[in-house]
Amino acid sequence: EVQLLESGGGLVQPGGSLRLSCAASGFTFSSCGMSWVRQAPGKGLEWVSAISGSGGSTYYADSVKGRFTISRDNSKITLYLQMNSLKADDTAVYYCAKGVRSSSWYEADYWGQGTLVTVSS
């Protein structure tokens, strides 16, 4: 059974940093692209970032480019999102999502339960 478990969310002040983790199980992690998608309170889904199975290719939404960094440790079967220079607009539930294959950074077939990030003073 595919499982994705996010952690690392919490309350942070504007300008602060946070690192999210997504622990994966139930599939061959290194064979799947992975993504982060967020949802602000009461709003729709917004894609944040994606990474190929090998980690060699990364992609970012314009809204986070230069502030967020996606990475993965295939030996630890974990996906990360380093978030710096956080703004109030980054307040959202952050979901990690699994791609179908190594190159499929552009889709998701399974999702985690999400972790809440609140940026506020």
Query: Mind spelling out the 3-state secondary structure of 2-51?
Result: CEEEEECCEEECCCCCEEEEEEEECCCHHHCCEEEEEECCCCCEEEEEEE
Applying CB under 8 A, which part among 13-21, 22-30, 76-84, 103-111 lies near another protein?
103-111
Q: Are 109 and 99 in contact (CB under 8 A)?
A: yes
40 binds another protein (CB under 8 A): no
Q: Are 32 and 104 in contact (CB under 8 A)?
A: yes
Residue nearer to another protein on the CB measure, 44 or 56? 44
Task: Please list, in sequence order, all residues whose beta carbon lies within 8 angstroms of the beta carbon of residue 10, skipping any fewer than 6 positions away.
Answer: 18, 116, 117, 118
Site for another protein in 65-94 (CB under 8 A): none
Residue nearer to another protein on the CB measure, 89 or 109? 109
Interacting residue with another protein among 28, 54, 103, 113 (CB under 8 A): 113
106 binds another protein (CB under 8 A): yes
27 binds another protein (CB under 8 A): no
Residue nearer to another protein on the CB measure, 23 or 100? 100
12 half-sphere exposure, CB direction, 13 A CA radius: 22
Q: Catalog residues that contact another protein under the rule CB under 8 A.
A: 35, 37, 44-47, 50, 59, 61-62, 95, 97, 100, 106-114
